[in-house]
């Protein structure tokens, strides 16, 4: 019998991204650059990301689609993309924890 008066509720557990899709998505240098840019936690538009990674907006959108299908990024209002907040370890640090792996994007090219 449970005698606790105020049982603590745990936060809902977020599912991990698919390891196969994530590993496949991380296999392209442009996607690493996109993740590095988004790792600071600020949502960004495709056109902004395209300038940073040196690709056309169309090609950047295709890379973002792969990252989105893998669960590495989400698309919000106004076509803004970001890394889901539960995967960011600390504000201002370029570390992303996908559960299967911890990415140190401060050293990524």
Domain parsing of the chain, residue ranges:
19-104
Closest to 50 (Cα-Cα) out of 23, 71, 79: 79
Distances (CA, A) of 75 to 20, 65, 67, 107: 21, 9, 10, 25
Mean pLDDT within 86-100: 84
Statement: residue 3 has pLDDT above 70: no
Residues 7-37 pLDDT 10s: 455 444 567 778 888 888 989 999 999 999 9
CATH architecture of 19-104: Orthogonal Bundle (1.10)
Provide the whole-model pTM: 0.80
Tokens of 17: 């991204």
């Amino acid at each position: 019998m449970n005698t606790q008066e105020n049982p603590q509720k745990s936060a809902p557990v977020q599912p991990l991204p698919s390891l196969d899709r994530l590993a496949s998505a991380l296999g392209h240098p442009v996607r690493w650059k996109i993740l590095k840019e988004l790792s600071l936690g600020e949502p960004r538009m495709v056109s902004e990301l395209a300038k940073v990674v040196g690709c056309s907006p169309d090609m950047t959108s295709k890379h973002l689609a792969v990252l989105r299908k893998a669960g590495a990024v989400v698309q919000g209002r106004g076509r803004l993309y970001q890394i889901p907040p539960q995967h960011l370890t600390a504000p201002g640090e370029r570390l992303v924890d996908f559960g299967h792996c911890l990415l140190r994007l401060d050293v990524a090219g």
